[in-house]
Structure 1
Amino acid sequence: MNEKNELHNRNLHISGLLNEEKVDIENKKVDIQDEKVNIENILSEKSSDFSIKTTVHIHRLFDRFGFDEVFGRSAVMELIEMKSSGASKLIYNLVQADIIEPVSGYGKGKYKFKK
């Protein structure tokens, strides 16, 4: 993931302050997030033969925007670091593959992932 996190012992210490309060988990139900969406299943359902590079771009877009956020060409350009023509072509291919859909009410050229 190209993260450059320094893992020094001095930063990884956990103080004893966390042990002061006991938590009763037997009587409480833990609210766990809904099942994570597997974008691979969505891509395979759409039966599109995307290259590995395009699939990585789709994953990055989905991780950033998900099903609920609306995005446009400029957001794709910034996130994937590509030029406008490449971003437009990617968006066009995703619309043709029925993976994203145009959204009205946000201005021209806005899209979101289809559920």
Structure 2
Amino acid sequence: LASFISRLWQIHIFGEGNTRTTAVFFIKYLRSLGFAATNDIFAENAWYFRNALVRANYTDLQKGIHETTEYLEIFLRNLLLEENHPLQNRTLHVSGLWTDEKVYMEEKKVDIQSEKVYFEEKKADIEALPSPKSANFSARTNVHIQRLFHEYGYDGIFGRSAAMDLLGLKSSGTSKLLSNLVQAGIIEPVSGHGKGKYRFVDNR
């Protein structure tokens, strides 16, 4: 089942919402097999499920990274066998797998100036972002704003489905969030990219 769903997700047929579509299909497929599958675990662990799908399809032989379904299998054991394994995103990280530290550090030294420029630009971008506090947003909403901005910046364009996948929110919660951000002047609708697309308002 883990291999089946990871290969299905890998097709990535849609521009947005592939993970959510895969989850809905998988629930219906499991029900056809007699499992009493619900959306609860997918909704509560959307980010883990998405990253587990990535790890099931990602390979970098030079760095010793191989695709693995072990994280999907843990997810499925919780879903189908009612086990209670912790689903923590940090367990999916591939950091620490590089063995040639000397080569890695030399590469970082060569690239240090460009990295410094990059982070200075990101710092300027974040400082230019309209203050969420002015709209009396909650701490959780502030986190959502920063995650969206980190992913898309001022130039990226996103819709509700992309925001749902990124933030792990339900449809209604995402719609409310985007509406509030539009009203606060933090994001704005854009045309020419399909219905319901937004970008951050550039006040730099």
Per the TM superposition, whether the score is higher than 0.5 is yes
Q: Output the CA distance in 2 between the equivalents of 1:69 and 1:38.
A: 13
Aligned to 2:186: 99
Count of residue pairs the alignment pairs up: 101
* Aligned-residue CA RMSD (Å): 2.7
Give the TM-score normalised by the residue count of structure 1.
Answer: 0.72
- The one-character-per-residue Cα deviations of 1:32-66 (angstroms, maximum 9, x if unpaired) are 34632353553328821110000000000000011
Match of 1:11 in 2: 99
Gaps of 5+ in 1: 24-29
TM-score normalised to structure 2 length: 0.43
Aligned to 1:112: 199
1:104/1:39 Cα in 2 relative to 1: closer, same or farther (>3 Å)? same
The runs of at least 4 consecutive aligned structure 1 residues that moved more than 2 Å come to: 2-8, 30-46
Percentage of pairs with the same residue: 51
Corresponding residue for 2:140?
53
Residues 79 and 104 of structure 1, relative CA distance in 2, 3 Å threshold: same
Which AA in structure 2 matches 1:97? A
Shift of residue 12, structure 1, vs aligned partner: 4.9
1:73 aligns with 2:175: no
Unpaired runs of 5+ in structure 2?
A: 1-88
Q: Which has the higher helix share?
A: 2
Shifted more, 75-84 versus 36-45: the winner is 36-45
